[in-house]
Chain A
Amino acid sequence: MEIRLALAGNPNTGKTTLFNALTGSTQHVGNWPGVTVEKKDGRLKSDKSVIIEDLPGIYSLSPYTAEEIVSRNYIIHDKPDAILNIVDATNLERNLYLSTQLIEVGIPVVIALNMMDVIRKNGDQINTKKLGDMLGCEVVEISALKGDGIQDAVKKAIAVAKSKKEVVLKQKFSDEIEAVIEKISGIITGKADSRSLRWYAVKLFERDEEIQQDLHLHSSDLGKIENLVASCEETADDDSESIITGERYAWIASVTEKCIHKKDTSGMTTSDKIDRIVTHRILALPIFAMIMFLVYFISISTVGTMATDWVNDVLFGEIVPTYLGGALENLGLADWLYGLIMDGIVGGVGAVLGFLPQMLVLFICLAILEDCGYMARIAFVLDRIFRKFGLSGKSFIPMLVSTGCGVPGIMASRTIESDNDRRMTIMTTTFIPCGAKLPIIALIAGAFFPDQVWIGPSAYFLGIVCVIISGIILKKTKLFAGDPAPFVIELPAYHLPGVGNVLRTMLDRGLAFIKKATSIVLVSTVLIWFLQSFNLRFEMVDAEESMLAGIGKSIAPIFAPLGFGDWKAAVASLTGLIAKENLVGTFGVLYGFEEVAEDGEELWATLGSAYTPVAAYAMMAFNLLCVPCFAAVGALRREMMSGKMTWFAVGYQCALAYIVSLMIYQFGTLLTTGAFSIGTVFAIVCLLFVIYLLFIKKAYSPEKKPKLTLERA
């Protein structure tokens, strides 16, 4: 028989760390609240009949944001056999608030007190036995990070799941409330799962609309309940939700007082001291800019480049051509097959894989950023600025996640409360260059701007500027009008990123990149090679007369005002839609094939002489900002849950990319060569239009709309 265990708990308590340790998965772990936004299942390594479900973190069973609904629905509707409630022992009071509700649901619960390593280090003491007795369930001490006690915790959870023992929460509300809850329970008996009767009654007392609908209660029953609640509220002079929350917290305080012995906390912790600096009024932004500059500088211009140069010049430049090429020649292959392997696959896929070292360095940097605790701080710091442009600081977390990959970045926007903010974040987050765009940046930086370190970071800050500009422009439209939701975020204590965790994340993302390069990119480059080798009559021809040149030439004029109006760049940009690495692969096939056989080191030199640096930068900007890859558009579609919004987003991204790239090329050319043309006029018109949208256009304001927000004290 299969047993389903759910890992539930507050955000950032170590659920995913435990999940990975128990199942051997490599799900994303990070030191900020809201890393996991989707449920994930896996099987216990030591007993495959046990299914473990990792859930997004929740603060309570009344969901506030989209990812919290997933967790509540899983617990309430899918009813796991037992819940392993992961509790952050360093933050006991606020974590037990959820625990009391989980126990109330009636599913067997085992509490795993996580982060015990920190508690021990701090010299604090928790009386686990007493805590368990007072709560009415078993409590186990663990450290998910170190692996301490985790097998014991699972064993206990499996045992309670098998015993199907009823659990009863020992917490009681005040007598009047208990009496009302008793009456509500009476009304809904037989209409709700009997195990969870008390939980349902409390929820109805709180007027939870979803539960009211779920239970299909008769309107007369609802009326009875409403009367009971209303009279209670009148005596207490408070609304029902606040009464329940207040009493729960009061009871928890009385429990923790008896069970936990903490050292004095009134001083400043190390985290507080760091925060004084990184959230400093003046220093905060320069520090952030510095960190991001370093991330790109290190991965594109230093460590990463050295390794990449070796891979490009020596591995794919000399070793592979010499040995593989020699071997193939010895085999006496047909010309076309030799061309396919050497020019198509080695030239294309090799060009992409050549950037692997730089990507691995980027992934390491990002994993360190994500695991140290800085993410929540930067959301807080940027809130002050983003808010002026209509976005909340929480939008920045998806953007940092997008630096790795746009798909999880788009999904991370689920933690944003306001619908309009969330939609806007989904639309703009892919302006931030993702890992797959790194090869494009590195290629342009290497081929056109050798020794200029600002190219990589500039691509990143270009993305942020475009997000901000979009924020201002879109907020003025009816679709996105409205203030961002109030900003509250938990700040986890800083900690040194775990070496294992960082390496695992790097390997995981690196492998995903290699997989992509040897599947999608491989197929694409083979196709590109084929199309550029043959004409419509399937005769092997010079690339200039090929089918591909024909296709490219028909769309190239669109890009002429942007400075890269030749068919090769047009085709490359097109293939970038499938996967952004394709752009590099396509260039590898189109520009590399003559050289690969003779002199690999010259691989990028021909490319470097094909465009001016300004045109190359414009091409990079266009490809970074324009529609992300198909996978990201798919994610965008899922999160928007609207085809219309998806088309709008894609259209907006194309338009923005085109305009920005046009301005870069035209103004750049004007500045560097003094050449003034009709294109320059277009660019000036675009600039004026953007200025109008930014500064002059009036914001949409909903007039004569009744005020809907309920004021309550």
Chain B
Amino acid sequence: MPLTMLKQGQSGVIKELHGNSAAVRHLEELGFVTGENIRVISELAGNLIIELKGSRLALNKVTASRIILAD
């Protein structure tokens, strides 16, 4: 299921990333690697603020939909 499905306060574990290779690469280097825990801090019309490895990142909806979580 994509990250967009998480509600405020929920968390999940990254399974894989979709998208073109440059964008995927960039996301991985920012720490979006398989097995990593993500928590949604707040949500704004599908755009998210998340916690990853103890820091805060903001993603838009398209990017969030490319991050697939383990069920």
**B46-67 with Cβ < 8 A to chain A:** 47, 49, 51-60, 62-63, 66
Q: A residues within 8 A CB of B62?
A: 486-487
**B19-71 with Cβ < 8 A to chain A:** 19-31, 33-36, 39, 41-42, 44-45, 47, 49, 51-60, 62-63, 66
Q: B residues within 8 A CB of A262?
A: 54
User: Would B53 and A94 count as touching, CB distance under 8 A?
Assistant: yes
Interface centre among B24, B29, B36, B57, by most A CB within 10 Å? Answer: B29
The yes or no answer to B7 lying at the interface (CB within 8 A) is no
Alpha-carbon separation in the docked complex, A379 to B57 (Å) = 12
The yes or no answer to A678 lying at the interface (CB within 8 A) is no
Nearest CB of chain A from residue B67's CB, rounded to whole Å: 10
The yes or no answer to A485 lying at the interface (CB within 8 A) is yes
Known: A279-B44, A380-B47, A712-B21. A245 touches B33 (CB 8 A): yes
User: Would A265 and B44 count as touching, CB distance under 8 A?
Assistant: no
User: Would B31 and A97 count as touching, CB distance under 8 A?
Assistant: yes
User: Would A93 and B53 count as touching, CB distance under 8 A?
Assistant: yes
User: Would A490 and B36 count as touching, CB distance under 8 A?
Assistant: no
The yes or no answer to A276 lying at the interface (CB within 8 A) is yes
Alpha-carbon separation in the docked complex, A493 to B54 (Å) = 11
User: Would A486 and B36 count as touching, CB distance under 8 A?
Assistant: no
Which of A92, A265, A380 sits near B49, CB closer than 8 Å? Answer: A380
Chain B residue nearest to A249 in the complex (CB): B33
Chain A residue nearest to B54 in the complex (CB): A265
Known: A93-B31, A249-B36, A380-B49. A488 touches B18 (CB 8 A): no
Q: B residues within 8 A CB of A380?
A: 44, 47, 49, 58, 60
Chain B residue nearest to A88 in the complex (CB): B55
User: Would A272 and B58 count as touching, CB distance under 8 A?
Assistant: no
The yes or no answer to A246 lying at the interface (CB within 8 A) is yes
User: Would A488 and B63 count as touching, CB distance under 8 A?
Assistant: yes
User: Would A272 and B23 count as touching, CB distance under 8 A?
Assistant: no
User: Would B24 and A275 count as touching, CB distance under 8 A?
Assistant: no
Task: Provide the A254-280 mask, 1 if CB < 8 A to any CB of B, else 0.
Answer: 000000001001101001100110011
Task: Provide the A265-307 mask, 1 if CB < 8 A to any CB of B, else 0.
Answer: 1101001100110011100100000000000000000000000
**Total number of A residues with any Cβ neighbor in B under 8 Å:** 52
Known: A246-B34, A711-B18. A490 touches B55 (CB 8 A): yes
Q: B residues within 8 A CB of A91?
A: 53-55
The yes or no answer to A220 lying at the interface (CB within 8 A) is no
User: Would A272 and B63 count as touching, CB distance under 8 A?
Assistant: no
User: Would A60 and B29 count as touching, CB distance under 8 A?
Assistant: yes
Nearest CB of chain A from residue B58's CB, rounded to whole Å: 4
Alpha-carbon separation in the docked complex, A91 to B29 (Å) = 14
Secondary structure at the B interface, as helix, strand, loop or mixed, is mixed
Alpha-carbon separation in the docked complex, A102 to B22 (Å) = 21
Chain B residue nearest to A269 in the complex (CB): B56
Alpha-carbon separation in the docked complex, A377 to B56 (Å) = 11
The yes or no answer to A64 lying at the interface (CB within 8 A) is yes
User: Would B23 and A485 count as touching, CB distance under 8 A?
Assistant: yes
Known: A245-B33, A275-B41, A281-B44. A64 touches B26 (CB 8 A): yes
User: Would A279 and B56 count as touching, CB distance under 8 A?
Assistant: no
**Total number of B residues with any Cβ neighbor in A under 8 Å:** 40
Q: A residues within 8 A CB of B19?
A: 486, 711
Q: A residues within 8 A CB of B26?
A: 59, 64, 417, 488
Q: B residues within 8 A CB of A164?
A: none
Chain B residue nearest to A489 in the complex (CB): B58
The yes or no answer to A621 lying at the interface (CB within 8 A) is no
Nearest CB of chain A from residue B16's CB, rounded to whole Å: 5
Nearest CB of chain B from residue A116's CB, rounded to whole Å: 16
User: Would A487 and B59 count as touching, CB distance under 8 A?
Assistant: yes
User: Would B49 and A275 count as touching, CB distance under 8 A?
Assistant: yes
User: Would B56 and A272 count as touching, CB distance under 8 A?
Assistant: yes
Alpha-carbon separation in the docked complex, A271 to B42 (Å) = 12
Which of B28, B57, B66 sits near A245, CB closer than 8 Å? Answer: B28
Known: A245-B28, A710-B20, A712-B24. A281 touches B45 (CB 8 A): yes
**A238-260 with Cβ < 8 A to chain B:** 241-242, 245-246, 249-250
Alpha-carbon separation in the docked complex, A279 to B42 (Å) = 9
User: Would B55 and A94 count as touching, CB distance under 8 A?
Assistant: yes
User: Would A241 and B28 count as touching, CB distance under 8 A?
Assistant: yes
Q: A residues within 8 A CB of B17?
A: 713
Alpha-carbon separation in the docked complex, A271 to B18 (Å) = 30
Chain B residue nearest to A713 in the complex (CB): B16
Chain A residue nearest to B58 in the complex (CB): A380
The yes or no answer to A168 lying at the interface (CB within 8 A) is no
User: Would B60 and A487 count as touching, CB distance under 8 A?
Assistant: yes
User: Would B47 and A384 count as touching, CB distance under 8 A?
Assistant: yes
Known: A60-B29, A94-B31. A272 touches B41 (CB 8 A): yes
User: Would A284 and B31 count as touching, CB distance under 8 A?
Assistant: no
Q: A residues within 8 A CB of B52?
A: 94
Chain B residue nearest to A377 in the complex (CB): B58
Q: A residues within 8 A CB of B57?
A: 488-491
Alpha-carbon separation in the docked complex, A60 to B31 (Å) = 11
The yes or no answer to A26 lying at the interface (CB within 8 A) is no
Chain A residue nearest to B46 in the complex (CB): A384
The yes or no answer to A229 lying at the interface (CB within 8 A) is no
Other than A246-B34, A713-B16, A713-B17, give 18 A-B pairs with Cβ distance below 8 A.
Answer: A59-B30, A91-B55, A94-B52, A241-B25, A245-B33, A262-B54, A271-B56, A272-B41, A275-B42, A276-B42, A380-B60, A384-B60, A486-B63, A488-B58, A489-B57, A490-B55, A710-B21, A712-B24
Measuring CB to CB, which residues of chain A are less than 8 angstroms from any residue of chain B?
A: 59-60, 62, 64, 90-94, 97, 241-242, 245-246, 249-250, 262, 265-266, 268, 271-272, 275-276, 279-281, 284, 376-377, 379-381, 383-384, 387, 393, 417, 485-493, 709-713
Measuring CB to CB, which residues of chain B are less than 8 angstroms from any residue of chain A?
A: 16-31, 33-36, 39, 41-42, 44-45, 47, 49, 51-60, 62-63, 66
The 9 closest A-B pairs by CB, nearest first: A487-B60, A380-B58, A486-B63, A491-B56, A709-B20, A93-B53, A245-B28, A60-B29, A91-B55
What are 9 sample pairs from A and B whose C-beta atoms fall under 8 A apart? A60-B29, A64-B29, A97-B31, A249-B31, A250-B35, A380-B49, A384-B47, A487-B63, A491-B49
